[in-house]
Amino acid sequence: MVTMTTIPLTPNALRVLEKRYLRKDEKGKITETPEELFRRVAKNIASADTLYGEDAKKTEEEFFEILSSLEFMPNSPTLMNAGRELQQLSACFVIPVGDSMDSIFDAVKATALIHKSGGGTGFSFSRLRPKGDVVLSTGGVSSGPVSFMRVFNAATEAVKQGGTRRGANMGILRIDHPDIEEFITCKERENEFVNFNLSVALTEKFMRQVEKNEEYELINPRTKEVVKKLKAREIFNKIVEMAWKNGEPGIIFLERINTYNPTPEIGEIESTNPCGEQPLLPYESCNLGSINLAKMVTERNGKNEIDWQKLTYVTHLAVHFLDNVIDLNKYPLEKIKEMTLANRKIGLGVMGWADLLAQLGISYNSEEALDLAEKVMKTIRDEAEKESEELAQHRGPFLNFAKSIYASANPRRNATLTTIAPTGTIGIIAGASSGIEPFYALVYVRANVLDSDELFELNPYFAEIAKERGFYSPELIKRIAEKGSIKEIKEIPESIRRIFVTAYDIPPEMHIRMQAAFQKYVDNAVSKTVNFPNSATPEDIAKVYLLAYKLGCKGVTVYRDESRTKQVLNIGKPGEKEVNTSKEKIARIRPQMTSGSTVKMRTGCGNMYVTVNEDEQGPCEIFTLLGKSGGCTSSQSEAIGRLVSLALRSGLKCEEIISQLKGIRCPQPAFTEQGAILSCADALARAMEIYHKEKKLPSLFEPIGGGSTLSPITPAHQSSAGGNHQSPITDLSKLGICPQCPECGNTLSYEEGCIICHSCGYSKCG
């Protein structure tokens, strides 16, 4: 069905509204137009004015104006539920998880209720006693935080949020929890914890210990006693390696977040919402909204500039709107209602930042953009404070104001005001670029649902300039679709290529600097993905983490291209890559001479010597030698080695091979200081992991003056044809599949910790 509308909505915006937001009858037939949706929301939210003797009708018209003009959008639960029976309007919740079965399963129940109503949940599992710790009530032992996370993950899987949104969780564990290593690696396999985003909570002390290459203490949260010491840098390396591998876990700087906690007397912040931008106290919720910066532009004397008066006007109305939401919300739990009404936190942010820069002719990758980011966000923050103070004069300050850090300042209505949130779906509705992200691509390839024709959807700002400057052509658009970037297309003027940069054109350090520029004037936190090309190294990710710490960010999310199979760059046609388009994989020829390294592993069948040899493209073969075994066991190990060698020369990544072999069990495991070696296959995987770690991370901390924490690998003695040198590992050819949206079949992109379809609005976090 195509809904008729006078609002300037794109076809994709209409599709998203029809599928997820517009009211439907019992038979699934749409019963409202987009205008009626915005009128429903404006009328419902404005009605809160009557509680304070204010003119609700006037406010309704003002709210309708900024909604229908796409200048402001609240978070999805407000658009979906305002003025309807559910009336649950918040997107963000944090639920405490205490160290008892009652507390854990109370949290599971609360999570199910929140997900059913359309919200996302965050948890800290740091209070739970570690795996193997005593359980006094039963005389047994604890299974640890990660095992209980599986319960939350399963509950989320079972609940589809009101038929419109899928459950999403944030799981956080402190860096000093004894189970931190298990937590860091628990999403190593892609099908694990699919409903969770994960972040490690780093402390200031830990970061100093990383810089100094010192040990740090693991503390049992039940007894508060030190149970073990680890090398801080080695654990940091492990976080980096996993983030390099698949984007998780992210990191948050927990003490820095609590430094800006507006109500420290009320409680300590332990967790954030699923995408990390909204730190909250236990049982607290927050509602979010975003100003569309693409609509804050005016033309004067033939030149585009920011309409600061309009930005001020929309900011004041948006704060008024979000404060009203708090009063009209139907909260899923009474405890959440009490905490939310006591602090009245709101999170006003922006979307369309890349659109704004394009209209102003400013490159995202420039100092000018950084300066403007600070100026724009400072204006929003300052004007939001003025509106909150004005609301407090008529309605009173938030209940905990006297216990807040603002107690000596002017009374204000809200404990927090600003947040930069992801705007995937509401961004599609508004026709705006996502949050403060750069353009992900200038051309999207979409399939026509009627006749399966491929349609190239071009960025409207680029299309306008291309037509004005006379270099527009269908052939050019196809080339852009294939490349994903215009930086190498010489027939496009350099000045245009400079402005229309995409996510992978921008150095990771600039992503962090942009995040830090906005964070400077944001009360809560900033949701932002630092995009890396597939060729990025763990060292590159470590540098970004350290830069984020230095520049005052509250957390970091990174993503290396193609590090997950459920991701696709919007380059070329769905299901197609720039590299190796043939259906058949042909293994490269083994060179006459290779060099390598040997790792000794203890197995239940005896000592296994695993040799990894390299050619100029990286690892190319594996040899195994079992010290005291023969017969079937030895032949099976040789067979595995040959198959792994073939896979390596066919272009498969070490990590993919490791993930297939690691964890395979046999009846005769070996127990070593490094843990149980479950089988010869598991030993081979562990040996490859050691080799891979040694080759990837030795220079990780050169910028801060330390040496590698890793010991050298034993030189190979079984390497055929000798060879003394160690060839550097080079980037293997890009592989992987291009998954499609499970609902509409179009391509997916990975943004701000979530998989998003820009066609139908499907999204999944975790």
pLDDT, tens digit (0-9, with 9 covering 90-100), for 710-720 = 333 343 433 33
Q: Select from 602, 648, 653 the least CA-distant residue to 629.
A: 602
Q: What DSSP character marks residue 703?
A: G
Residue 371 tokens read as 């300066």
In a domain, 674, yes or no: yes
Distance of CA 572 to the CA centre of its chain: 24
Spatial distance between the Cα atoms of 638 and 560, rounded to a whole number of angstroms: 34
Return the higher-pLDDT residue of 370 and 627. 370
Residue 723 tokens read as 């060879």
Q: How confident is the model at residue 657 (pLDDT cuts 50, 70, 90)?
A: confident
Q: How confident is the model at residue 604 (pLDDT cuts 50, 70, 90)?
A: confident
Spatial distance between the Cα atoms of 631 and 635, rounded to a whole number of angstroms: 6
Beta-strand ranges (E) seen in 241-326 are 250-253, 271-272, 279-280, 284-292, 297-300, 303-306
Q: How confident is the model at residue 726 (pLDDT cuts 50, 70, 90)?
A: very low
pTM higher than 0.85: no
Q: At residue 433, what are phi and psi to the nearest 5 degrees?
A: -65, 155
Indicate left, alpha or beta for 698 from its phi (over 0: left) and psi (-120 to 50: alpha).
Answer: alpha
Q: Hey, is 112 helix, strand or coil?
A: helix
Q: What's the mean per-residue pLDDT of the chain?
A: 86
Buried b (16+ CB within 10 A) or exposed e, 185-201: bbbbeeeebebbbbbbb
Q: Are strands 529-532 and 555-560 parallel, antiparallel or unpaired?
A: parallel
Q: Hey, is 459 helix, strand or coil?
A: coil
Give the number of domains in the chain. Answer: 1
Q: Select from 267, 264, 288 the least CA-distant residue to 276.
A: 288
Spatial distance between the Cα atoms of 371 and 518, rounded to a whole number of angstroms: 10
Q: How confident is the model at residue 448 (pLDDT cuts 50, 70, 90)?
A: very low
In a domain, 681, yes or no: yes
In a domain, 313, yes or no: no
Spatial distance between the Cα atoms of 118 and 81, rounded to a whole number of angstroms: 9
Q: Is the pLDDT of residue 746 over 70?
A: no
Q: At residue 732, what are phi and psi to the nearest 5 degrees?
A: -75, 160
In a domain, 263, yes or no: no
In a domain, 665, yes or no: yes
Q: Is the pLDDT of residue 430 over 50?
A: yes
**Secondary structure (DSSP) of 7-61:** S---HHHHHHIIIIIS-B-TTS-B---HHHHHHHHHHHHHGGGGGGT--HHHHHH
Tell me, what's the pLDDT at 456?
65
**Secondary structure (DSSP) of 393-426:** HHH---TTGGGSTTTTS---S-S--B-B---HHH
Tell me, what's the pLDDT at 699?
39
CB 343 within 8 Å of CB 422: no
Mean pLDDT throughout 399-418? 98
Q: How confident is the model at residue 208 (pLDDT cuts 50, 70, 90)?
A: very high
Tell me, what's the pLDDT at 722?
36
Compute how many other C-beta atoms are within 10 angstroms of the C-beta atom of residue 396. Answer: 12
Spatial distance between the Cα atoms of 716 and 612, rounded to a whole number of angstroms: 8
Catalytic residues: 273, 275, 277
pLDDT tens-digit profile of 66-101? Answer: 999 999 999 999 999 999 999 999 999 999 999 999
Q: Where are the alpha helices (DSSP H) in 520-589?
A: 538-551
| For the chain, percent of residues with pLDDT exceeding 70 | 85
In a domain, 591, yes or no: no
pLDDT tens-digit profile of 555-575? Answer: 999 999 888 765 433 344 333
Q: Is the pLDDT of residue 20 over 50?
A: yes
End-to-end CA distance of the chain: 31
Tell me, what's the pLDDT at 654?
79
Tell me, what's the pLDDT at 583?
38
Tell me, what's the pLDDT at 240?
97
Tell me, what's the pLDDT at 164?
54
Mean pLDDT throughout 151-161? 83
Buried b (16+ CB within 10 A) or exposed e, 606-635: bebbbbbbbbebbbbbbbbbbeebeeebbe
Q: How confident is the model at residue 4 (pLDDT cuts 50, 70, 90)?
A: low
Q: Are strands 92-94 and 297-300 parallel, antiparallel or unpaired?
A: unpaired
Tell me, what's the pLDDT at 496?
97
Tell me, what's the pLDDT at 153?
93
What is the span of the domain harbouring residue 633?
596-715
Tell me, what's the pLDDT at 132?
93
Spatial distance between the Cα atoms of 91 and 85, rounded to a whole number of angstroms: 17
Q: Average the pLDDT over each of 1-5, 323-327, 679-683 and give the range with the smallest value.
A: 1-5
pLDDT tens-digit profile of 103-141? Answer: 999 999 999 999 988 899 999 999 999 999 988 777 789
Tell me, what's the pLDDT at 364?
98
Half-sphere exposure of 733 (CA within 13 A, CB side): 16
Q: Is the pLDDT of residue 278 over 50?
A: yes
In a domain, 653, yes or no: yes
Q: Average the pLDDT over each of 200-209, 214-223, 389-398, 585-594 and give the range with the smallest value.
A: 585-594
Contacts of 644 (CB under 8 A, 6+ apart): 622, 657, 661, 684, 688
Indicate left, alpha or beta for 28 from its phi (over 0: left) and psi (-120 to 50: alpha).
Answer: left
In 3-state terms the chain splits into helix, strand, coil percentages (rounded to 5) of: 40, 20, 40
CA distances from 559 to 278, 323, 500, 548, 691 (A): 20, 34, 21, 15, 23
Mean pLDDT throughout 220-229? 97
Tell me, what's the pLDDT at 696?
57
Q: Is the pLDDT of residue 515 over 90?
A: yes
Tell me, what's the pLDDT at 352?
98
CA distances from 601 to 491, 596, 609, 610, 666 (A): 57, 16, 6, 7, 16
pLDDT tens-digit profile of 701-712? Answer: 443 333 333 333
Tell me, what's the pLDDT at 565?
63
| For the chain, percent of residues with pLDDT exceeding 90 | 64
Sign of the Cα torsion 571, 446, 486, 545 reads negative
Q: Where are the alpha helices (DSSP H) in 165-307?
A: 180-185, 204-212, 232-246, 254-259
**Secondary structure (DSSP) of 365-388:** SSHHHHHHHHHHHHHHHHHHHHHH
Q: Select from 646, 621, 619 the least CA-distant residue to 731.
A: 619
Q: Are strands 250-253 and 196-202 parallel, antiparallel or unpaired?
A: parallel
Tell me, what's the pLDDT at 445?
66
Give the CA dihedral 519, 524, 529, 530, nearest 10 degrees: 40
